[in-house]
Amino acid sequence: MNKKKITKDDTFFHLSIISLSILLLSSCAAHNHSQRSKNISNPNNTPPQLSDKSWVSIHPKVIIITGSASGFGKAAAEKLIAKGHIVYGGDINKEGNKYLDKIGGTALVMDVRKDAQVRAGIRRILKEQGRIDVLINNAGYGEYATIENIDIEDLKNQFDVNVFGYARLQQEVLPTMRKQRSGRIIIVSSGLGKFSLPVLGWYAATKHATEGMADALRLEVSQFDIDVVKIQPGASNTNFVKTAYARLDQSYVPEDYKQMVTNVRAGLDALMTKAGGPEETADAIVEAVEAAEPEISYITMEDAKTFIEKRNSMTEKEFYDMLSK
């Protein structure tokens, strides 16, 4: 039997069929979800799905936020506690996290790289509160180095915190949120999840991974009335950049790259002189927690807004040609 040669048109046809099938399935799922929300009977004995109005009426909300000892996490935790929410903050920095216990929150020792600590923290919240309404995945750090010269162990650690740490928290809270038929997962990503820059490339890679994960997760769990929201901040005057600089200073930079690294650092220094503190991003996190219908993403800080707008309005070649000048 002669085998039919597969042409580009055939490939396009098959891809189109697959895309159409996904759209149809999504439409059916949305229709079925809508019908289930209106159905008063509950044959599976699952908790009723909550409407947007019901989400607003849940007060206080039970919230777990990671990376709560500093930066965006600390600022957001303080604002959420001030609004009367029940806030648990997980952080590897035990001393830096103690402030939570003094202002009405609860400090948890949590290294997001360690399964046991993540699991213990979530179990404690469920034991004490009986539910979890919001997960704010925020813990992360920047490993600044050229793509060629980063230490592989340092790279693994950055992915373990910035990507796998998010996965660990989500896997622990999602079974509860599915049973509740309500919940919200807020992913603190970065403007660098939408584009990349020299020396910041591996950090950007973790945030590109985070963006892809968040968008898929939203499609997977919307049927359970669980929202997934991304926060995409730009440069901010927190310890984040200082820590990244310290690690960059300790790393080996070949002579061929030294001028480029110097130029990138000078650009970042200039940017940081204009950058604000964590307040704008913390306000966006609070909005994402409380809104009846949150945005899919919140872009904060002027540099992120400018770069993302340019990236969206230019071709890929135009954008990266601009950056290379």
Instruction: Note the pTM of the prediction, 2 decimals.
Output: 0.80
Give me the pLDDT at residue 25, please.
Answer: 37
Amino acid at 190: S
Q: Which residues, including other chains, have CB under 8 Å from residue 250's CB and lie 6 or more apart?
A: none
**For the ranges 17-26, 47-56, 203-212, the one whose mean pLDDT is highest:** 203-212
List 88, 144, 166, 203, catalytic entry? 203
Rounded Cα gap, residues 27 and 306, in angstroms: 35
Task: Kindly state the average pLDDT of the residues 7-18.
Answer: 40
Separation between Cα atoms, residue 33 and residue 21, nearest integer Å = 18
- Which residues partner with 298 through β-bridges? 231
Quote the strand ranges of 223-283, DSSP E: 226-233
Can you tell me the mean pLDDT for 231-257? 80
> Is the pLDDT at 295 greater than 80, yes or no?
yes
CB atoms within 10 A of CB 281: 28
pLDDT-derived band of residue 170, with 50, 70 and 90 as boundaries? very high
pLDDT of residue 8: 41
Residues with Cβ < 8 Å from 11, sequence gap 6 or more? none
Q: In the structure, what pLDDT confidence band is assigned to residue 266 with cuts at 50, 70 and 90?
A: confident
Which is nearest to 220 in space by CA: 25, 44, 19? 25
Is residue 203 among the annotated active site residues? Answer: yes
Q: Two tokens at 146? A: 């050229």
Q: Strand, helix or coil at 1?
A: coil
Which strands, in side-by-side order, build the sheet including 226-233?
106-109, 86-91, 62-66, 134-137, 183-188, 226-233, 297-300
The whole-angstrom separation of Cα 76 and Cα 98 is: 15
**What confidence score (pLDDT) does residue 247 get?**
76
> Mean pLDDT in the chain?
84
Confidence band of 74 (pLDDT split at 50, 70, 90): very high
What is the Cα–Cα distance from 27 to 221, expressed in whole angstroms? 15
Contact 140, 205 (CB under 8 A): no
Beta partners for residue 314, in sequence order: none
Residue 47 — very low, low, confident or very high, per pLDDT cuts 50/70/90? very low
Q: Which of 246, 249, 213 is nearest to 228 (CA)?
A: 213
How confident is the model at residue 103, as a pLDDT? Answer: 98
Q: What pLDDT was estimated at residue 172?
A: 99
More confident position, 169 or 321: 169
Give mean pLDDT, residues 20-32. 38
| CB-based burial, 237-247: b 16+ in 10 Å, e otherwise | ebebbebbbeb
> Quick one: pLDDT at residue 148?
94
163: which 2 tokens? 């990507």
pLDDT band (50, 70, 90) for residue 46: very low
pLDDT exceeds cutoff 80 at 112:
yes
Say whether the peptide bond before residue 278 is cis (omega within 30 degrees of 0). no
Is 6's pLDDT higher than 70?
no
**Which helix or strand (DSSP H or E) is residue 68 part of?**
none
**Contact 89/97 with Cβ under 8 angstroms?**
yes
Please determine, for residue 294, whether its predicted confidence score (pLDDT) is greater than 80: yes
Question: Has domain 53-324 been given CATH number 3.40.50.720?
Answer: yes
Structure tokens given for 89: 């903050």
pLDDT for the residue 162: 98
